[in-house]
Structure 1
Amino acid sequence: MNLKMLTLSSAIIFGLASTANAADADIRFDGFPDFDSSLKVLLPDFEKKTGIKVDYLMNNHGDHHTKLTTNLATGSGAGDVIVVDVEKIGPFVASGGLVNLSEKYGVDKYQDRFAAYAWAQGKGADGGMYGIPVDLGPGVMYYRTDIFEKEGVKVDAAITDWDAYIALGKKLKKDNIFLIASAADVAQAIIFTTVPEGEGLYFDKEGNSVVTSERFVKAFTVAKTIRDNGLDARITAWSNEWYEGFRNGTFATQLSGAWLLGHLKNWIAPDTSGSWAVSNLPDGIYGSWGGSFLSIPKQSKNPDQAWALIEYMTTNPDSQLTAFATIAAFPSNITTYDDALFDQPIEFLGGQKARQVFAEVAKNIKPVQPGKGDHVARSIILENALMQVLDEGKDIKEALAEAERLIKRRTRNM
């Protein structure tokens, strides 16, 4: 769901939540917040229909995936059903520790029910499905309607292209309002949403790095322009300052996935209800900002019961819509998109029928095949090279060339 680049950091306190005593449970679901909120609503019906009792373990996003990496490597300790973020699905599938759901449960019969790009991401090199998409992250721009109205800005004009978006930032700066929390989010948006056909996020179909291409140069250039003009608040996502920024109107826009709505509404900034709306991303781009998959580790002693839960949470339209209404986890199941829920106004977003915007974005996202080295490249590009450019003034092409050398070295034996 999230995230998604979205990611929940250690700012969220580790917690264990269970629907039954672990000793009484038939299977365990391992995930990260806000999955526990949706499970509280979904599991009573599931348990009543199937007789399968489910316990669930929630860790913050980073710790959850670190734990799973160890679990899959050692062959023990994982739940029967695990949530895998889109950023991790490639390497987790490549690890060999997940059940081939196509082979064991014939899941390919469900392919037409899911967004094509998300279904492709759950596949392995052998064509089998190892992760069923449970939610998507259509990328949108959240913006403060009160600030836009005060500034006399029309959102459509502000997102025409990146120049218009930057011009908005310069206008806001005069009133001591930042355009966005971090310029890095803009770079991420461009990198993730302008992938040429036949390429992955960081590698081409032959596995060669593409991080010195024009897509990355443009992403870094736009982000650096925002930073150099003092238009971003230089606030890291999922920090206390980030939460306060949403609550206090420190920044006027935030690029993120549909799932952010649930976090804003439920715990980050509930008191700002009515002050937000969403639009398409700037520059006419469409892309995914996060998303989650459900998988079964080979170490599970109860794979059939685990599959029953995955099937219930993904192929059942009612379950998908319940999660959407509860935590704004956008459905991966496209058969839900004609439901009346999509036409309902969202109070937190000032009555906007924002689910229609999410659906439009989801329908326009093109498939991008994940690569097994994506997590390595992402860390090098977004956490190292980009920060060197934004924080230290390093030359963009030099930073990307150095990043490519590191990526080649660290993925050589993958």
Structure 2
Amino acid sequence: MLSRRGLLAAGAGGAATLSVWPAAVTASEGRAPREVLTIAAFPLIDEIGRAALSRWRTLHPEVALRILTRQYIDHHTAMTTALSTARGLPDVMALEASFVGRYARGTGLLDLRQPPFGIEQLRDRVVPYAYQQAVTATGAVVAMPTDIGPGTMLWRTDILGRAGLDGNAIGRSWDDYLAAGRQIKARTGAFLVAAAQEIKDIALRDGRQPGEGLYYDADSRALADTPRFERAFEIALRARQAGLDARLTAWTNEWAEGYKRGKLATALSGAWLVGQLATWVAPETRGLWRAAQLPGPTYAAYGGTFYALPRQADARRRALAWDYIRLMTLDTGQQLAAFKQQDAFPALREVHQDAFFDGPVAFLGDQPARRLWREAAARIDAMPVHRQNAFADEVVNTELDNVLTRAKPIRSALADAQRLLQRRALR
């Protein structure tokens, strides 16, 4: 379940270095900055950083900001290398949620509980599950959340209307959701969802025990052999056997065409998908969509962004680096602006009471959908992120494909996944 930035930034250009404040200032002008603070980011996060320049200039007119932008994967690869070699370290690094868990097991990031940071005093100001994602097994807190991705189900009013269904009711349970899919297919010919994997991704989050991650428990024991996985695979298989999924890969031309041409009745994704449908995927469908909670109902997160401080970065700029993080994560005006301009749903809870959350969303027929997403954000359970989650994603998705396309028995598929996940956990 990639985040919005992971998906959108995949096609972005290569590395670029931008000295964004001050621009082209020379020492002869008498205004040369005494310090330069380097921020390593990826697309969209860099845009949010540039939008905050005037505020930063007010706080620290003597400190230049240099934002290093790399494509999403290149950025995280570069940060992995920098942390392991202590070379090319920025003062502040942006990290997508899935990478926080990978880095948290190492010693490359500062524990923000320590002075002068005191992040524990800020805990109640941010969404609980997002804060918990940055907590290591030893209790260290290695990153500060800035935005989150609450999950939502989007549904087409025209398709469900022709099928005689109420989109607000079809997700009361997974049985209801699949039954609705069969009725939609029979009466309209549309598919319920783009891919059965979307269903598995959500159903897999149902029934987790306290303290469990998605793929591993607190003791790094793999969980693929549990009833939770078996149930998620069974629901996805039922959808495939009934012909309810269009077998489309997300973010392909065929996937976009499915939304444009009314071939897909629902979408299970992060709330940020609304912005992508509205701006480039299917803008002509404006007003035809509505939002509801994910089937189950299930409350799930689709990515998010954090800021972290490398342990071996120059300590002389550490206080400035923390000031930058505080600006980007704790300034209500900055958080709200990022939400309005870049669909970056705020991790800062006090922003959630702003009147903007009660306003209409034009693409959704003026539905005040942000209220739903705010509720989802408050109800998502904290879920530890294991450093092998990316590998586990690949293994579990491969085994699901074996079940869906090669008729591999579910228990056999999960047994094979369990073996691979447990072996990798020991590394």
TM-score, normalising length: structure 2: 0.89
Measured against aligned partners, the alpha-carbon deviations of 1:119-141 in whole angstroms (never above 9, x if no partner) come to: 11111223221111111111111
Counterpart selection for 1:80 from 81, 86, 91: 91
Q: Is 1:396 the counterpart of 2:410 in the alignment?
A: yes
Partner-residue secondary structure (3-state), 1:102:
coil
Instruction: After superposition, give the CA deviation of every residue in 1:11-44 in whole Å (9 maximum; x if it has no partner).
Output: 4444647362899792333333332343342233
> Structure 1 residue aligned with 2:360, among 317, 323, 345?
345
Q: What is the CA distance between 1:358 and its match in structure 2?
A: 0.6
Is structure 2 residue 192 aligned with structure 1 residue 179?
Answer: yes
Residues 135-154 of structure 1: matches in 2 within 5 Å? 135-154=147-166
Q: Which residue in the other structure is 1:29 paired with?
A: 39
* Structure 2 partner of 1:284: 297
The alignment's C-alpha RMSD in Å is 2.4
What is the CA–CA distance in structure 1 between the aligned matches of 2:193 and 2:105, rounded to whole Å? 36
Question: 2:100 aligns to what?
Answer: 89
Which letter does structure 2 place at the counterpart of 1:86? Answer: A
Equivalent residue, structure 1, for 2:72: 61
Deviates more, 1:372-381 or 1:195-204: 372-381
Q: Compute the displacement of 1:360 (Å).
A: 0.7
Inter-CA distance 367–173: structure 2 relative to 1 (3 Å threshold): same
- Which residue of structure 1 lines up, in the alignment, with residue 322 of structure 2? 307
The answer for the alignment partner of 1:46 in structure 2 is 56
Contact 2:335 2:348 in 1 (8 A): yes
Q: Distance in 2 between matches of 1:253 and 1:198?
A: 31
Corresponding position: 1:336 with 2:346? no
Q: Give the match's secondary structure for 1:119.
A: helix
Conserved 8 A contact 1:194-1:285: no
Residue in structure 2 matched with residue 406 of structure 1 by the alignment: 420
1:354-401: CA deviations, max 9, x gaps?
A: 11001111111121222233233222213x222222232211111111
Partner of 1:214: 227
**1:189 — aligned with what?**
202
Cα distance between partner residues in 2 of 1:374 and 1:314? 26
1:321 matches 2:333? no
Cα distance in structure 1, aligned partners of 2:15 and 2:158: 36
Q: Which residue of 2 aligns with 1:227?
A: 240
* More displaced 10-residue stretch of structure 1: 293-302 or 202-211: 293-302
Give the Cα separation in 2 of the matches to 1:257 and 1:337: 17
C-alpha distance in 2, partners of 1:327/1:119? 21
SS of the equivalent of 1:158 reads coil
Q: 2:252 aligned with 1:236, yes or no? A: no
Distance 1:312 1:26 in 2: 17
Question: In the alignment, what sits opposite 1:358?
Answer: 373
Whole-Å separation in 2 of the counterparts to 1:275 and 1:188: 25
Q: Percent identity?
A: 35
How many equivalent residue pairs?
Answer: 412
Match of 1:18 in 2: 18
Letter in 2 for 1:76: R
The verdict on how the C-alpha distance between 1:386 and 1:23 changes in structure 2, with shifts beyond 3 A counting, is: farther
1:322 Cα shift? 1.1
Letter in 2 for 1:354: A
- What do the CA deviations read for 1:218-242 (whole angstroms, capped 9, x no partner)? 1111111112222112112233333
- Quickly say closer, same or farther: Cα 1:378–1:106, change in 2 above 3 A: same
Greater Cα radius of gyration, structure 1 or 2: 2
More moved, 26-35 vs 182-191: 26-35
1:30–1:79 contact (8 Å) kept in structure 2 = yes
Partner-residue secondary structure (3-state), 2:402: helix
Q: Give the gaps of 5 or more residues in structure 2.
A: 26-34
Distance change (3 Å), C-alpha of 1:127 and 1:3: same
Question: Which 4+ residue blocks in structure 1 deviate beyond 4 angstroms?
Answer: 12-15, 21-25
1:113: Cα distance to partner?
0.3
Partner residue in 2 for 1:369: 384
Report which stretch shifted further, 15-24 or 141-150.
15-24
Partner SS for 1:76: coil
Q: Give 1:118 shift.
A: 1.2
- Please state how far the C-alpha of 1:280 moved relative to its aligned partner: 0.4
What TM-score comes out, normalization by structure 1 length? 0.91
Conserved 8 A contact 2:222-2:425: no
Structure 1 counterpart of 2:39, which letter? F
CA distance in 2, matches of 1:219, 1:207: 21
Corresponding position of 2:134: 122
**Aligned equivalents of 1:99 and 1:348: distance in 2?**
42
1:2, 1:259 within 8 Å by CA — same for their partners in 2? no
Q: Matches of 1:243 and 1:391 in 2, distance apart?
A: 23
- Report the alpha carbon displacement of residue 308 of structure 1 after superposing the two structures with TM: 1.5
Q: Compute the displacement of 1:342 (Å).
A: 0.8
